[in-house]
Structure 1
Amino acid sequence: MRKVGHPADSVLLHPVNCSAHSLLVHARYLVAADGAHSSVRAAVGISMHGSDHLVEGLTALFRGIADLQPRIERIGAVSSGAQLAQRFRQDSTFRIGDAAHRLTPRGGTRMNTAIHDGYDLGWKLT
């Protein structure tokens, strides 16, 4: 997202895409659901507060039986953070999901907050 403007009760978007063509979009609302590294959130100047890396570790996937030599299928790095957007709404722009709050995916936390985000956004837009 290159630019987001807020003329009288609406949103004016100037998104960046893969082609050289420029596009200007006029909408009543903009919902930023574009992930933890939200370009929409950055374009409107909303910062995230909290720790980006609370825990860092490794994960390993083994295949085989414990009594035999198991084979390592995959090893990867994992990190967990907890961050919250400075604001969930600014003028006609809303943030939901990882664009609004980054959570550790344990115990269904992210699924539950996603359901709540959808419910909350629904009544705000009606």
Structure 2
Amino acid sequence: MTVTNEPERNDPGIPTLTEVLAEGEAVPEGTAGSAQAGAAVAELGVPADVAVFAERVSARLTLQLADEITTMVERRCHDALIDQTSWLVQLIGKQVADALQAQLPDRIRQAVIEEVAKQVRSQG
């Protein structure tokens, strides 16, 4: 077993500290709540770079969760659409079969009458 300075990466989706925060980096301008976070962090005695790291990790996890939730909702909607479509096809098929079954005796009777009439005309 060799010892390296590289951190162990169990989950490539979770950033390491060096990937997210450069040494001595300040809270970037335009970061949501950066002024409020800076004041709150100073009051709690938390270094600014740790606060920036925590904010970035929180934002990245929020995006990942939003993507997962969106994917889950899309999958469930797709499955529900397939189920409803199958149900509608079965319902329509049953209604068409019932309607044809109800009309079939009359149509057969009419076709037999027309054919008999046609044969009588051709013989007579």
Answer 1 or 2: which has greater strand percent. 1
TM-score where L is the length of structure 2? 0.21
